[in-house]
Structure 1
Amino acid sequence: MLIMSLVTTLILFVLLGSGVWIAFALIGTAWLSLAMFTSFAPGPILASDFWGSSYGWDLTALPMFIWMGEILFRSGLANNMFRGLSPWLNRLPGRLLHTNIIGSGMFAAVCGSSAATCATVGKMTVPELEKRGYDSNMAIGTLASASTLGLLIPPSIMLIVYGVVTEQSISRLFMAGIGPGALILLLFMSFLVGWALLIGNRHGGTGIADPAMSLVDKIRNSWQLLPILALIGGIIGSIYGGLASPTEAAAVGVVLAMLIARYNGHFNREIFRDSLFAAVRTATMIAFIIAGASFLTSAMGFTQIPSRLAQVIAGMGLSPTALLVALTLLLLVLGCFLDGISLILLVTSIIMPMIETAGFDLIWFGIYLVIVVEMSQITPPVGFNLFVIQGLTGKDILTITRATIPFFLLMLLAIALMYQFPAIALYLPQAM
């Protein structure tokens, strides 16, 4: 098992380091793993996984939200958002870098998808932050990390999957995700404030402060935020008003973005065409990576590496604290190779009896599990948010990974705080 794990990891890193497309690196690793360590034919498995990952209804939301972000970016609405927020964030250390964190948290509550949040918010914020002179590493680090909250803040596909397979109340899981989601946002913003005070301001990484404004001028300038707030309100309202599912709400967002852009006089045939083509390119890139990751997930299942690692930990007879530490390490390793849903299904099918014996609350454990899956979104080699950021910025994976390390550690801190104070996750569902 150890040899298989090391060889598989080596193959993946060699392919990624050779400069081939990320999807091809994932496919090549899966193909070679199946050919070397199993008797299964890789071809039929590849065809089945590519077909299975291409027609999912939930995947429909991804290109629609990306298209919405392209419209907002090209019609100037994103720039209006920055002009409206800038006076209020001008004196907060880190200034407009906080828009990545705040914007990702708000959008996560709309779509429930980490990749869609990363692509949509990134299309709006990254070009503007670079143009205004902000530190590029901190810009991509805050974006890649905060957008993972799409997996935790309701509506969350991961929590739905966990609730179904463990027979837990999905509404209680949604309520339990609010506290930890707010905690992680607070940790991210606090770190950004500290970084700006200690490092960013001295090295010019926090941009140029806008001229001071009176309160009246700030309020007048904030009218530029109304279109974005109306867009978010329309999407959230369509979901919680029962008019649309989260997937259908993505289409609502595209229509509203077009109407708002047209009303502001910044939408024409050229913007429609360019935004559509750009959205197709980005969504195709992400879908190709998802298909490759699906094939790699299947290959890992056939080699039985993940299940064997889980069985090793199950046989150790650890205390609850040691068990949680061991599980965190195991899940972070597996998260480098498996997608989030596969990771949740693996844990619930193999480890759940051990979790119940150790006395963990299953609602609390579901939130913990999703946070670990969030961390895997910014962990190479199969970190979807890293791939999305690479597609948006053209930077290499190692540079993007280094930018996310502080936020990765902050998520570990959030898990530690949640373990020490379970009420962070359990207060709201217990109060229902």
Structure 2
Amino acid sequence: MEPTTLMLALIGFLFVILGLGVWIAVALATVGFVAIVVTLTLPPGAILATSMWQQLNSWDLTALPMFILMGDILFRTRLSQDMFEGLAPWLARLPGRLLHVNVVGCTIFAAVSGSSAATCATIGRISLGELKKRGYSDALAIGTLAGSGTIGLMIPPSIILIVYATATEQSVARLFIAGIVPGLMLTALFMAYVIVWALLNRHRMPPPEPKLPLRERIAKLRRLAPVVLLIVGVIGSIYGGLASATEAAAVGVFLALAVSWRAGTLDRETFSAALIAATKTSCMIAFILAGAAFLTTAMGFTGIPRMLAEWIGTMGLSQGMLLLALTLFFIVLGCFLDGISLVVLTTSIIMPLVGAAGIDLIWFGIFIVLVVEMAQITPPVGFNLYVLQSLTGRDIFRLGWYTAPFFLIMCFAAFLLALFPDIALWLPRTMLQ
């Protein structure tokens, strides 16, 4: 069978079985199995076992369940309430006032969670009720939460960056450092939008909160101490060269247990619930990675990635045009797949194209995560929208309308990242010379 015909047939087969509701990991492995049976005489079972073992036998991947467990433990503490009360007095004087708590709170929690959905749910449990009670716009309260929740994918320790590093054999620590400035850039852009909106819609803003004395504001700021301790312990140990990403994950779990114990939420029931939830999530991600590894191996045998790279090369696309095409491709796929599945599904095909175009793989990891962030707030499969639907009971397409401005802001951020690659590359180049 011609490679082009085989590629189209395999892609069509993949979407058919995904549309039938087959688990993503099983669907990926099935397509890989079919590709090997059609093109080779080798036993597919042996290739399946070897590729899956090589993918999962990774030291960097050990950090994944630890960071997931850390986030699940923190999800069951009073951390979100403490963050709201600690940040509110300091942000209430900015135009947009307490709407900034969503943005800054999500950014801070992202630095100790690594999960977009967990960030959105944890901050939203407290902030949405508080903002509604004070008379803030529902559309902007929900939009800022959905958009800012995606920062959990970018700010380290990011689960999806670990998945990307494992799938492409890149440095987890370097990717973590590369995600800091783009993540903070997104925070600044979201806050700037809130400020502009508030200045243009003064009549829709509630009356300002009573100004607290400086002493009281400082006292409330102390409630951020646990999360600051976590950030310093986890991120600081990596950047200071004291621990690898995996060792820092273990530090994070220990500190999360300490914070939970200090908050009085650490008991047998909450610990068991966090452990079970983290185990389920970790197994799901590992299963997807294993299926994707087999598909990647199968694609290598078929020669499809090489053929696709040569075909793109004959088109003479510039780096900018290639990135635009890949962005549109990921946005469309993001309407149907979650972020982790999107990354592991496409790496076997996309990486040869990216490498052939001379694009830095660390930079591309940050770029692809930014594009995947957009997919978190696009119907019908935007995970953050499902989280918000459970919190608010609103229709998912109405929620998508609320988040549209933040989707456009992320498009602008992707443009800036492509125009100025040093936004992602300057910090790792400086710190890891």
TM-score (norm 2): 0.70
Cα deviation, 1:351-387, whole Å, max 9, x if unaligned, reads 43xx7xxxxxxxxx45542233224535779x9xx79
- What whole-Å deviation, never above 9, does each CA across 1:162-195 have from its counterpart, x for those lacking one? 8979xxxx97x98776554443443344446567
| 1:147 aligns with one of 148, 153, 163 | 153
Offset from partner CA, 1:303-356 (integer Å, 9 cap, x none): 3333222212222345xxx3421254247648966538657853465443xx7x
- 1:377 is the counterpart of 2:372: yes
How far apart, CA to CA, are the structure 1 residues paired with 2:128 and 2:24? 25
Structure 1 distance, partners of 2:120, 2:252, is 16
> Shift in Å at residue 275 of structure 1?
1.9
What corresponds to 2:233 in structure 1? Answer: 234
The answer for the alignment partner of 1:97 in structure 2 is: 102
Aligned residue for 1:53, secondary structure, equals helix
Return closer, same or farther for 1:152/1:68 CA change in 2, 3 Å cut-off: closer
Structure 1 residue runs without a partner (length 5+): 109-115, 356-364
- Measured after TM superposition, the shift of residue 265 of structure 1 is 2.9
- 2:415 paired with 1:416: yes
CA displacement at 1:160 relative to structure 2: 11
What are the residue-to-residue correspondences of 1:27-426 with 2, within 5 Å?
Answer: 27-35=29-37, 41-90=43-92, 93=96, 94-99=99-104, 101-103=106-108, 106-107=111-112, 116-118=114-116, 121-122=119-120, 124-129=122-127, 139-144=145-150, 146-150=152-156, 179-191=181-193, 212-216=210-214, 217-318=216-317, 322-330=318-326, 333=329, 339=344, 346-347=352-353, 350-352=356-358, 365-366=360-361, 368-375=363-370, 377-378=372-373, 410-418=409-417, 420-421=419-420, 424=423
Q: Distance in 2 between matches of 1:197 and 1:13?
A: 46
> How many angstroms apart in 2 are the aligned matches of 1:105 and 1:81?
12
- The change in CA–CA distance for 1:68 and 1:334 in structure 2 (over 3 A counts) is closer
SS class of match (2:21): coil
In 1: Cα distance, 2:305 partner to 2:120 partner: 33
Amino acid at match of 2:277: A
Tell me, yes or no, if the aligned pair for 1:306 and 1:334 is still in contact at 8 Å. Answer: no
Summarize the Cα distance change of 1:416–1:120 in structure 2 as closer, same or farther, 3 Å threshold.
closer
Amino acid at match of 2:66: M
Whole-Å separation in 1 of the counterparts to 2:63 and 2:213: 39
CA distance in 2, matches of 1:182, 1:38: 48
1:345 & 1:54 partners in 2: Cα distance?
19
The answer to whether the Cα contact below 8 Å between 1:141 and 1:407 also exists between their aligned partners in 2 is yes
Q: Note if contact 1:148-1:377 (Cα within 8 Å) is conserved in structure 2.
A: no
Deviation at 1:57, TM superposition (A): 1.8
Q: CA RMSD in A?
A: 4.7
Specify which of 21, 24, 36 is matched with residue 19 of structure 1.
Answer: 21
How does the TM-score come out when normalised to structure 1? 0.70
Distance 1:302 1:390 in 2: 39
Q: Which residue of 2 aligns with 1:111?
A: none
> Contact 1:67 / 1:254 at 8 angstroms: preserved in 2?
yes
Give yes or no for contact 2:107–2:148 (8 Å, CA) kept in 1.
no
1:393/1:182 CA distance change after superposition, 3 Å: closer
Distance 1:380 1:33 in 2: 29
Q: Cα gap change, 1:20/1:32 in structure 2, threshold over 3 Å: closer, same or farther?
A: same
In 2, Cα distance between the equivalents of 1:240 and 1:430? Answer: 11
SS at match of 1:377: helix
Give distance in 1, aligned partners of 2:254 and 2:278: 15
> Structure 1 CA distance, aligned partners of 2:25 and 2:112?
27
Amino acid at match of 1:266: T
The CA distance in 2 between the partners of 1:9 and 1:211, in whole Å, is 56
Change (3 A) 1:260 1:346: same
2-structure distance, mates of 1:195, 1:341? 38
State the SS of the aligned residue for 1:84: helix
CA distance in 1, matches of 2:241, 2:430: 25
Q: Could you tell me whether the CA contact under 8 Å between 1:11 and 1:29 is conserved in 2? A: yes
Question: Identity rate of aligned residues, in percent?
Answer: 36
Q: Is the 8 A contact 1:29 1:296 kept in 2?
A: yes
Call closer, same or farther: CA 1:407–1:294 in 2, change over 3 Å: farther
Task: State the shift of 1:280 in Å.
Answer: 1.6
Describe the SS at the equivalent of 1:294.
Answer: helix
What is the count of residue pairs matched by the alignment? 396
> 1:22, 1:71 → 2: CA distance?
27
SS in 2 for 1:214: coil
| Stretch deviating more after TM superposition (14-23 or 190-199) | 190-199
